Amino acid sequence: MTGEKSPTAVSRRTFIKGVIAGGAAVASANYLFRASTLLGQTPVAAVSERLIAITVNGQQRRVDVMKQETLAWTLRYKLGLTGTKLGCDRAECGSCTVLVDDVPHYSCSMLTHTVRNKKILTVEGLAAADGTLHPVQQGIIDEQGFQCAFCMSGFIMSAVGFLKANPNPTRAELAHGVSGNLCRCQDYDKILTSLMRGAENMRRGTSV
């Protein structure tokens, strides 16, 4: 562990000392929901840590995050990024997939506080600043890959993450790459065709 000596790390350490000294942890439900206790408590890390900055789609976003809050919750209900869907909230469907430092993760199954120092990419962050779609998005439009499309943003993020590491997959390899995503409309064949088109678009360095 080198560098990471940000102000949060300092307050975190102070807080840990507090926890060790106190034996048990403070009862968090109180400070979360009742202003009076909030004032009365030795606040240390608790309050200062709730207001954090996370990097989403290239922007630093300051946001008030509960300790027990999942990334999907923060994205959708705090930052208004509702392109990330919640299907199961149980790591069983993939519709909440986002990239964390370029790697696909289920945002329903990670705490926002654990990704403070990482780069988050959601489906909203894929298109270029001038509105040009990401090659994978364009591939989907070209091939009309989805039916209801509830699962779509999750599939796109899985595919984009997979293609960054494996730019030239066979259809079977790509299928394996996005196997952590379910489609309730059972549109897999067309989804794969459009993602393969997206991969081709990416290799050509073009979105059309």
Ligand X SMILES: Cc1cc2nc3c(=O)[nH]c(=O)nc-3n(C[C@@H](O)[C@@H](O)[C@H](O)COP(=O)(O)OP(=O)(O)OC[C@H]3O[C@@H](n4cnc5c(N)ncnc54)[C@H](O)[C@@H]3O)c2cc1C
Give the interface with ligand FES as residue ranges (CB under 6 A): 86-89, 91-96, 106, 108, 146-151, 183-185, 187
Residue 28 near another protein by CB under 8 A: yes
- List the x/- string, 64-103, binding to ligand X by CB under 6 A: ---------------------------xx-----------
| Residue 124 identity | E
| Burial track 19-34 (b if 16+ CB lie within 10 A, e otherwise) | eeeeeeebeeeebeee
Nearer to ligand FES, 160 or 183 (CB): 183
| Residue 20 contact among another protein, ligand FES, ligand X, none, beta carbon within 5 to 8 Å by kind | another protein
List interacting residues with ligand X (CB under 6 A).
91-92
Q: For binding to another protein (CB under 8 A), which residues are involved? A: 1, 4, 9, 12-13, 15-16, 19-20, 23-29, 32-33, 46, 66-70, 73, 86, 88-92, 94, 97, 103-106, 109-111, 113-114, 158, 162, 176-180
